[in-house]
Amino acid sequence: MKQKLEEIRASALQTIDAAADLAALEQLRVKFLGRKGVLTDVLRGLAQCSPEDRPVVGKVANEVKQAVADALEARKDALAASQEAASATAERLDLSLPGRRPLRGHKHPVMRVAEEISDIFIQLGFQIAAGPDVETEYYNFDSLNTPANHPARDLHDTFFVKPGVVLRTHTSPVQMRVMERTQPPVAVIVPGRVYRVDQDASHSPMFYQIEGLLVDKGISFADLKGVLRLFIQRYFGPTTKTRFRPHYFPFTEPSAEVDISCTVCSGKGCRVCKHSGWLEILGCGMVHPEVFKYANYDSETYTGFAFGLGVERIAMLTHAISSIHYLYENDLRFLEQF
């Protein structure tokens, strides 16, 4: 029995010292000291020893058990220390390496263009106004002299939230809200999101618009042309030409669309301007007297003009972007160019 115990001690110490990791070490603990382990089986056989041999064998068995337990604990500490050292080496910071510059965000091209446009009008004395994206038909259509049978009020043009409530199709409702609570003179611009049932290379169901309104005594179409020409030359450059074409909007009379000389070919004609030399950028006109009635303004005393432009349209012209959808796909390869 004593010889068997010594053989177990030798075998255990040898295999424990060779254990490669903590998992293998745990298997050896179970093998030698577990309830069904080798030493446990030997200790169960003590009852078969003679009474005079039993104390001697028991003492040796306890010594072997303690030796195996001590070897297991020592190997465990050694493996843990080795793992900790390896982990420390792997995670070590090399302070001699150059630092990594963190990625910095920047403004989206649509927001940048909107701010640049707004800054020009703010310098001209306009103030920024804001209003809700979800509007009543009264503010979005009725108060802006848009009749009930106008095609813009159909489902194929306007998103209806519920009867009488829409996602605003332009930022002009804010102009009416401003006039309701403000007596002339009024000079505001209204940047914000608008929504229309429209989608192609140059249109998106949601896009940004900036509308302007100026109301005071003696305001004429010449004032409108002067303000817009000044804006265009400040934004697109002093050599940019402008052209006003007659148009129709329910809330302005007379109305016009404004073209600028092509920013790509300088008016010579190219694919971007369809060889016309001109690019349409905004609509404008003198505020219709019927709109003043809704605002309780005296149209015999006050006159005013309004204009509206699409921010994405300006961004596409400024940066030669072929599709509006590039602005909303959130592709960093595209956005990092700005």
- Would you say 33 and 69 are in contact if contact means Cβ atoms under 8 Å apart? yes
* 191 upstream amide cis, omega within 30 of 0: no
- pLDDT score for 85: 78
- Would you say 220 and 159 are in contact if contact means Cβ atoms under 8 Å apart? no
Strand partners, 306: 213, 285
Q: Identify the residue with better confidence: 49 or 247.
A: 247
* Cβ atoms within 10 Å, residue 157: 13
Region 238-253: mean pLDDT is 92
Lowest mean pLDDT among 73-87, 274-288, 290-304: 73-87
Q: Is the pLDDT confidence value at 41 over 70?
A: no
- Would you say 165 and 193 are in contact if contact means Cβ atoms under 8 Å apart? no
Q: How far apart are alpha carbons 209 and 172 in whole angstroms?
A: 10
List pLDDT tens digits, range 162-185.
988 999 999 999 999 999 999 999
Q: How far apart are alpha carbons 113 and 107 in whole angstroms?
A: 10
- The CA-atom distances, in angstroms, between 175 and each of 105, 111, 116, 187 are 33, 21, 21, 10
- Would you say 194 and 206 are in contact if contact means Cβ atoms under 8 Å apart? yes
Average model confidence (pLDDT) across the chain: 84
In this structure, the strands spanning 252-261 and 278-287 are antiparallel
Which of these, 300, 279, 277, 280, lies nearest to 289 by C-alpha position? 300
Q: Going by C-beta distance under 8 Å and a sequence separation of 6 or more, which residues neighbour residue 169? A: 140, 152, 157, 158, 194, 195, 196
- pLDDT score for 30: 76
- pLDDT score for 19: 78
List pLDDT tens digits, range 252-268.
999 999 999 887 777 78
- Would you say 186 and 305 are in contact if contact means Cβ atoms under 8 Å apart? no
Q: How far apart are alpha carbons 224 and 214 in whole angstroms?
A: 9
- The CA-atom distances, in angstroms, between 39 and each of 31, 54, 70, 151, 319 are 9, 15, 15, 94, 82
- pLDDT score for 135: 93
Q: Is the pLDDT confidence value at 132 over 90?
A: yes
CATH fold of 109-335 reads BirA Bifunctional Protein; domain 2 (3.30.930)
Region 230-236: mean pLDDT is 93
Structure tokens belonging to residue 235: 């934004």
Which of these, 134, 121, 130, 125, lies nearest to 175 by C-alpha position? 130
Q: Is the pLDDT confidence value at 330 over 80?
A: yes
- pLDDT score for 202: 61
Q: What percent of the chain has pLDDT over 90?
A: 41
List pLDDT tens digits, range 76-113.
888 788 888 777 777 777 778 787 888 788 888 899 99
Helices 54-90 and 22-33 sit at what angle, rounded to 10 degrees?
A: 170
Q: How far apart are the first and last CA of the chain?
A: 85
Q: Is the pLDDT confidence value at 292 over 90?
A: yes
Structure tokens belonging to residue 107: 């403004």
Q: Is the pLDDT confidence value at 226 over 70?
A: yes
Confidence of residue 8 (pLDDT cuts 50, 70, 90): confident
